[in-house]
């Protein structure tokens, strides 16, 4: 019931002609009925005005003159009438202008005064268009970016303005406008770099290093950079962050950090998605960075194994794709392949070959037995270890009177050559003593050891034969 009353009030306020009638009706209801503190009292004019649509309020032009209300040509709304909005707006706009103040409403026995605010009195300047705001913001951002990187002089600077390198670096650190281009001499540019390093600000060091790289010759830039390790560190980190890998490899090679440069090239090669291109880049990386450095021999062997595995996978994949398409392999028809074997680890490749190529010829590269032949270092080799040290183990074997061949085997595993030679001399193990002195290429000690032996004995003859051998290059 309340919702119906409210909607009815909103209906009566749709046209200016209905406002007067609604006000008089509300006044009569107030005179004839006493609502008291009834919670359902919602049919007053206050509530009616609250339900007026916002769009209708903006269009209303209400006058306080009763003559205007009585002479209005507007009629009530009816669903059966063909109401023309354009005619209603035209007739409404033809009304003479009336004074308008703030909206005041009330319900009395004599009537109700309605005063709506004028749209012109509450008008404010319209904001600029979004496009113009975007253009202004873009200009500001471009200008701020130029000031931030120091490639354009701020308005307060001129060509006659002289700012020391210390002041420029300070402005970089505190976020003030700065202009690096005013420092044109080499001494001034180097002073900028020295001041940034002295203050230990990474952003300032990077900004100055990039400025020097842009304005100095490459030879001068590299010369100044090599003398400052902290600047090199920040420059390398900057190249890593922007992924300038070509320049990064050149800088690392110039610094003598060949291992880091090789690993950067290896990472770039392995990130290539296409298998054939990845294989070519791995081969090029192996020749240019790993094989040329003896310190990277262990890593070079690993990359060789990776290249062999990738070559093997490409051959197997090409053949299996053809066989699968022709439907010749019964296993592939019963258990279709879920993915390509290219790019999988060695264990996955071994599982794949055992699954589909277990019965192939041994000479075929897809046979699982080829894994042991191609990757002989994959499973590793057994190496003897002793938790108490082999020198202690030799002493225990000597006390236990172990066989000579067992004793010699463990004595040769002693890492320290002096300790091994001392134990071999102590326990009369002449073969190990002679081999140790030959490995040390110490001719004088070998001659002295021969003099302590029994003449014409087997160890004496062996030592004499080694001394007469011209292949051994002695140190003394």
Report the predicted TM-score, pTM, of the whole model to 2 decimal places: 0.47
Q: What are the backbone dihedrals phi and psi of residue 457, each rounded to the nearest 5 degrees, phi first?
A: -80, 170
Domain assignments of the chain as residue spans, ordered by start: 2-93, 141-294, 295-374, 390-467
| Torsion, Cα of 39, 40, 44, 48 (10° steps) | 120
Question: Looking at residue 351, what is its pLDDT?
Answer: 92
Cβ-contact 192, 184 below 8 angstroms: no
Question: Looking at residue 18, what is its pLDDT?
Answer: 57
Helices (H), 53-184: 54-59, 66-70, 85-93, 130-149, 165-174
Question: Looking at residue 278, what is its pLDDT?
Answer: 93
Q: Which residue shows structure tokens 């992924």?
A: 243
pLDDT per 10-residue tile (average), the chain, 476 residues: 47 54 63 49 48 46 49 53 49 46 42 43 46 50 49 50 84 88 88 91 92 90 90 92 90 88 92 92 91 87 92 92 86 88 92 90 87 79 80 90 90 90 90 90 89 88 86 80
């Amino acid at each position: 019931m309340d919702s119906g009353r409210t909607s009815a009030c909103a209906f009566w306020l749709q046209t200016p002609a209905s406002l007067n009638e609604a006000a008089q009706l509300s006044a009569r209801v107030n005179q004839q009925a006493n609502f008291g503190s009834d919670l359902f009292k919602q049919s007053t004019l206050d509530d009616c005005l609250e339900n007026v649509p916002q769009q209708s309020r903006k269009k209303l032009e209400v006058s306080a003159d009763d003559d205007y209300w009585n002479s209005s040509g507007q009629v009530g709304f009816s669903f059966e009438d063909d109401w023309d909005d354009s005619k209603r707006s035209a007739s409404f706009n033809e009304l003479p202008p009336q004074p308008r103040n703030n909206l005041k409403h009330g319900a009395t026995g004599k009537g109700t005064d309605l005063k709506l605010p004028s749209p012109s009195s509450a008008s404010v300047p319209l904001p600029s268009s979004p496009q113009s705001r975007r253009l202004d913001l873009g200009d500001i951002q471009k200008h701020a970016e130029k000031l931030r990187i120091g490639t354009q002089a701020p308005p307060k600077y001129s060509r006659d303005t002289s700012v020391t390198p210390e002041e420029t670096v300070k402005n970089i650190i505190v976020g003030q406008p700065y202009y690096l281009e005013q420092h044109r001499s080499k001494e001034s540019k180097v002073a900028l770099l020295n001041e940034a390093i002295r203050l230990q600000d990474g952003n300032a060091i990077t900004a100055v290093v990039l400025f020097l790289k842009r304005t100095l010759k490459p030879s001068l830039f590299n010369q100044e950079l090599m003398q400052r390790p902290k600047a090199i560190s920040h420059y390398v980190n900057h190249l890593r962050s922007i992924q300038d890998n070509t320049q990064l490899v050149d800088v690392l090679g110039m610094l003598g950090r060949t291992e880091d440069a090789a690993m950067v090239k290896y990472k770039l090669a392995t990130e290539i998605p296409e298998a054939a291109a990845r294989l070519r880049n791995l081969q090029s990386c192996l020749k240019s960075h790993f094989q040329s450095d003896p310190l990277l021999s262990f890593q070079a062997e690993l990359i060789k194994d990776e290249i062999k595995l990738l070559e093997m996978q490409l051959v197997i994949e090409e053949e299996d794709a053809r066989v699968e398409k022709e439907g010749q392999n019964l296993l592939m028809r019963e258990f279709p392949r879920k993915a390509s074997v290219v790019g999988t680890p060695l264990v996955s490749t071994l599982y794949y070959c055992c699954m589909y190529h277990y019965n192939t010829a041994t000479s075929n590269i897809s046979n699982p037995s080829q894994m042991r032949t191609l990757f002989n270092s994959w499973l590793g080799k057994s190496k003897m270890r002793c938790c108490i040290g082999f020198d202690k183990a030799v002493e225990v074997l000597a006390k236990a009177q172990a066989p000579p061949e067992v004793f010699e085997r463990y004595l040769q595993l002693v890492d320290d050559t002096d300790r091994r030679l001392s134990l071999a001399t102590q326990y009369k193990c002449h073969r190990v003593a002679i081999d140790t002195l030959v490995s040390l290429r110490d001719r004088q000690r070998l001659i002295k050891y021969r003099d302590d032996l029994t003449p014409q004995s087997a160890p004496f003859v062996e030592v004499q034969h080694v001394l007469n051998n011209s292949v051994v290059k002695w140190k003394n």
